[in-house]
Amino acid sequence: MSGGAGAPVLEARGLTKVYRMGEVDVVALRGVDFDLFRGELVVMLGASGSGKSTLLNILGGLDTATSGAVRWADHDLASASEADLTAYRREHVGFVFQFYNLIPSLTARENVALVTDIADDPLDPAEALSLVGLGDRLDHFPSQLSGGEQQRVAIARAIAKKPELLLCDEPTGALDAQTGRVVLEVIERVNGELGTTTAVITHNAPIAEMADRVVSLSDGRILSVRTNVSKKSPAELTW
C-alpha cells in the first residue's frame, strides 16, 4: 500500500536529539519531520551516524526526543511517562534488530511464546512461525538454526502480538545477500498479509527499491522523501 492516503498514524514534527558525551554535545537529529501512513512499508536509508536509528528508537518509544512532537494515533509520545511508553511498546510496536536476541535455552516456539504470553490477542506461536516459513522448525533451538532462520524467529516474535507498527533496524545487517532477501520477503509478507505498518532502516541502498516510500537521512536531517512508482520484490534486489 502506498503511503499518503489520509492522516498519518504516526507523526513527528521538529524532532531534535542531543546526547551529552562527556563535555561534548552530539546532535543526532536536527529538526526532523516524519510521517508514517497505515499499512505502508517505508525504508529509511542513510549511512552510519545519519540519525536513522535514533529516529526509529524515538518512533518506537525506546528513546525520547530532546525537543519536538511525536504522536501515534491519539498518543502523545513526547510527553508520555515511562509507564506510558512501556505500554505503547507492549501494545502497539514490534521490533526487529540486526542481532536476533533469542534466548539460547528456549526453542523457536518458546522464544515466540515469551511475547504471546503477555499480549492481549496474540497469534499462536506456531502460526507466527508458519507465517515466516518456519512451521517445521518449531522445536529447534537457536543453535540448530541458521542466521537467517534465527532472524525469522525474531520477526515471528515481533509480529506474534499483532502489532500495528513493525520497526526493523538493519534486519539484514548480519546476513549474506541471499539470506537477507529471504528475510526481506518475510517482512514484505507481514506488511502485505497482516497490513502491519512497517519501517525498515538500512544503509543498503538497493533495499529501498522494495519500499512504498524511501526516506533518506544524513547528518540528523531528512534529505529527501520519494515514492516508488514501481516497487521491486526482495527476490529482484541485488547488492
pLDDT score of 150: 95
Question: Cell numbers 516510500 correspond to what residue?
Answer: 213
Report yes or no on 20 lying in a domain.
no
Q: What is the pLDDT along the chain (239 residues), one digit of tens a residue?
A: 344 457 899 999 999 999 998 899 999 999 999 999 999 999 999 998 899 999 999 999 999 999 999 999 888 998 899 999 999 998 899 999 888 889 999 999 999 999 887 777 888 999 999 989 999 999 999 999 999 999 999 999 999 988 999 999 999 888 888 889 889 999 998 999 889 999 999 998 999 999 999 999 999 999 999 999 888 888 888 87
Cβ–Cβ < 8 Å for 220, 29? yes
Range of the domain at 163: 37-64+82-236
pLDDT score of 100: 86
Cell numbers given for 178: 541471499
Q: Please state the pTM of the whole predicted model.
A: 0.90
pLDDT score of 2: 42
How far apart (Å, rounded) are the C-alpha atoms in residues 231 and 207?
Answer: 10
Report yes or no on 182 lying in a domain.
yes
**Domain count along the chain:** 1
Report yes or no on 14 lying in a domain.
no
Identify residue 201 by its one-letter amino acid code: I
CA dihedral sign of residues 42, 37, 97, 190: negative
Report yes or no on 73 lying in a domain.
no
pLDDT score of 5: 56
CA distances from 143 to 24, 138, 147, 149 (A): 42, 13, 9, 10
Question: Cell numbers 545519519 correspond to what residue?
Answer: 50
Report yes or no on 8 lying in a domain.
no
Report yes or no on 60 lying in a domain.
yes
pLDDT score of 1: 39
**CATH number assigned to the domain comprising residue 122:** 3.40.50.300
How far apart (Å, rounded) are the C-alpha atoms in residues 110 and 4?
Answer: 38
Cell numbers given for 220: 540528523
Report yes or no on 107 lying in a domain.
yes
Report yes or no on 5 lying in a domain.
no
SS3 annotation, 89-150: HHHHEEEECCCCCCCCCCCHHHHHHHHHCCCCCCCCHHHHHHHCCCCCCCCCCHHHCCHHHH
How far apart (Å, rounded) are the C-alpha atoms in residues 165 and 222?
Answer: 21
